[in-house]
């Protein structure tokens, strides 16, 4: 088999690493890839990005299966175009991808099908949004409806902050066209959980739970990032929480997918909030999470390629998925200044000293040297007998890897509640 993985982050490196373990996989192309995907034994980077280029490449190379990591291409309809050419591709079509591409659409979908979520209102006019906000209790949440690289969610503590958030998103366009429509939402306090799943539109098969640490600073302080680290399984996802997720969120979501005539094989990522009132859905993502993928896939004992093929064949109801009983921890090594301004091009050393997995996120190979090339540079991932064991191993490896202005949170996996 020849596979094509689309994307360039740590998530894509982890996916390439996992699918390479299938004995029938001969080659894994990654487009455009990074310095990690380029060095996998079965891996090869191809410097292409657009849907038309990817489609032409897949046809030319007789690609047997394409896996899309990045949400933008899914929203733009890459799955539809590949399917028109008779190519196998794992991901939602354009219609289903709207569950991530439009937070307003997703919230209306949740409401329509009884998915437990926070109260909300949708606005296309900043003045009307501000009028509504004056009637709200604080804190509240203001969200850009479109794709904003995981950064379009602003938690506002008071009226002044909320008014500023509306102006930033809708008037100043800090998230570009993603802010043409906003969602103003009830603030839910609690602990977050991520549950990835695969679906064939007939069943949804949930993966082991994970916990993301989104803020740049310890104890969840500072600016939002794309994720500074993850653990799996999530200690807060008890049997009671899991059962509430199944009945109040996953099952109604599946009913909605069927009722709306969505027909696809792909990933549904459930972003959850757990508090004393129950388990709520914050958002859908329609692709593998980053950096959740990096801790979930190392715990998957079943063959990942076979699982995806079961989805494409509509046979997930017969899939037997096995998970390790161990724990995993991912520590993100970032560039100093991230998530705001940061510099690139610094040499990375010491990866070969790591005893566990290091997935490359924002780094490139240049003349045989690995150089920083993004805000989140590396994902140091370790599997241990328990969470503390996994944390200790990951942090030991994090200290072995060096690049100028390296920074990382020291509390990934620490439970504050």
Residue 310 shares a structural domain with residue 206: yes
Non-local CB neighbours of 352 within 8 Å, separated by 6+ positions: none
Longest dimension (CA), the chain: 60
What's the confidence (pLDDT) of residue 224? 84
45 in a domain, yes or no?
Answer: yes
In a domain, residue 48? The reply is yes
Check residue 318 and report its DSSP letter. Answer: G
**pLDDT confidence bin for 70, thresholds 50/70/90:** confident
Would you tell me how many other CB atoms lie within 10 Å of the CB of residue 245?
Answer: 24
pLDDT digits (tens, 9 = 90+) for 170-212: 999 999 999 999 999 999 999 999 999 999 999 999 999 999 9
Using alpha carbons, select from 105, 140, 109 the residue that is nearest to residue 124. 105
Give the domain-ending residue among 318, 336, 360: 318
SS3 of the chain: helix, strand, coil, percent, to 5: 35, 30, 35
* 115 domain-assigned: no
Q: Is residue 250 part of a domain?
A: yes
pLDDT tens column, 238-297: 999 999 999 999 999 999 999 999 999 999 999 999 999 999 999 999 999 999 999 999
Of 152, 232, 231, 252, nearest to 413 by C-alpha is 231
Q: Is residue 280 part of a domain?
A: yes
| pLDDT higher than 90, residue 416 | no
Burial class (CB in 10 A: 0-12, 13-18, 19+), 163: middle
User: What is the value of pTM for the model shown?
Assistant: 0.94
Does 135 fall in a domain?
Answer: yes
DSSP 60-107: HTT-SEEEE--HHHHHTTHHHHHHHTT--EEB--HHHHHHHH-HHHHH
Question: What mean pLDDT do residues 50-55 have?
Answer: 97
Asked whether the predicted pLDDT for residue 43 surpasses 90, the reply is yes
**Co-location of 170 and 231 in the same domain:** no
pLDDT of residue 403: 98
Q: Which of 290, 318, 346 is the last residue of a domain?
A: 318
For 337-367, what is each residue's pLDDT tens digit? 999 999 999 999 999 999 999 999 999 999 9
Considering the domain architecture, whether residues 347 and 274 belong to the same structural domain is answered as no
Is residue 79 scored above 90 in pLDDT?
yes
Instruction: Decide if pLDDT at 149 tops 80.
Output: no
- Same domain flag for 301 and 228: yes
- 151, pLDDT greater than 90: no
Residues 17, 77 share a domain: yes
Q: CA torsion angle for 301, 328, 13, 203 (degrees, to 10)?
A: 50
Render the burial of 33-56: b for 16+ CB within 10 Å, e for the rest: bbbbbbebebbebbebeebeebbe
Q: Are residues 304 and 339 in the same domain?
A: no
Indicate if 214 and 310 belong to the same structural domain: yes
Q: Average pLDDT of 131-150? A: 92
Higher pLDDT, 382 or 417: 382
Residue 274 shares a structural domain with residue 229: yes
CA-based nearest residue to 314, from 264, 267, 269: 264
212 and 290, same structural domain?
A: yes
**Domain range for 54:** 2-91
**Same domain? 312 vs 205:** yes
Residues 169 and 246 in one domain: no
Number of domains the chain is built from: 4
In a domain, 410, yes or no: no
**Cα separation, 285 vs 106, whole angstroms:** 10
| End-of-domain residue from the set 298, 318, 338 | 318
Residue 15: strand, helix, or coil: helix
Residue 208 sits in the same domain as residue 294: yes
Taken in order 285, 289, 292, 295, the sign of the CA dihedral is positive
Position 99 in a domain: no
**381 phi/psi in degrees, rounded to 5:** -125, 130
pLDDT at 45: 98
């Amino acid at each position: 088999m020849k596979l094509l993985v689309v994307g360039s982050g740590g998530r894509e490196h982890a996916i390439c690493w996992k699918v390479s373990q299938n004995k029938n996989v001969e080659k894994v192309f990654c487009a455009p890839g990074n310095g990690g995907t380029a060095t996998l034994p079965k891996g090869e980077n191809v410097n292409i990005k657009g849907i038309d280029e990817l489609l032409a490449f897949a046809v030319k190379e007789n690609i047997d299966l394409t896996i899309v990591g990045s949400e933008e291409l899914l929203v733009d309809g890459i799955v539809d175009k590949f399917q028109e050419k008779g190519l196998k591709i794992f991901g939602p079509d354009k219609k289903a991808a709207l569950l991530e591409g439009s937070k307003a659409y997703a919230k209306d979908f949740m409401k329509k099908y009884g998915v437990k979520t926070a109260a909300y209102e949708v606005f296309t006019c900043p003045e009307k949004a501000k009028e509504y906000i004056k009637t709200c209790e604080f804190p509240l949440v203001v969200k850009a409806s479109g794709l904003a690289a995981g950064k379009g969610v602003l938690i506002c503590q008071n009226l002044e902050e909320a008014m500023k958030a509306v102006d930033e998103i809708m008037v100043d366009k800090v998230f570009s066209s993603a802010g043409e429509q906003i969602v103003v939402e009830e603030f839910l306090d609690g602990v977050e959980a991520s549950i990835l799943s695969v679906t064939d539109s007939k069943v949804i098969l949930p993966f082991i739970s994970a916990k993301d640490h989104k803020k740049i600073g310890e104890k969840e302080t500072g600016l939002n990032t794309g994720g500074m680290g993850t653990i799996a399984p999530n200690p807060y996802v008890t049997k009671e929480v899991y059962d509430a997720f199944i009945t109040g969120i996953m099952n109604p979501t599946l009913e909605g997918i069927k009722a709306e005539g969505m027909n696809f094989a792909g990933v549904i990522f459930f972003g959850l909030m757990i508090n004393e009132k129950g388990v709520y859905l914050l958002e859908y993502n329609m692709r593998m999470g980053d950096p959740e993928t990096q801790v979930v896939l190392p715990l998957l004992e079943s063959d990942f390629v076979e699982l995806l093929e079961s989805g494409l064949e509509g046979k997930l109801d017969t899939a037997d998925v096995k998970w390790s009983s161990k724990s995993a921890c991912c520590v993100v090594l970032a560039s100093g200044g991230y998530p705001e301004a940061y510099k690139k091009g610094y040499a990375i050393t010491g990866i070969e000293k790591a005893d566990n997995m290091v997935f490359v996120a924002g780094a490139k190979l240049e003349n045989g040297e690995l150089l920083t090339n993004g805000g989140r540079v590396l994902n140091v991932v370790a599997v241990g007998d328990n969470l503390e064991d996994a944390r200790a191993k990951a942090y030991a490896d994090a200290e072995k890897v060096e690049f100028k202005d390296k920074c990382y949170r020291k509390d990934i996996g620490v439970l504050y509640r």
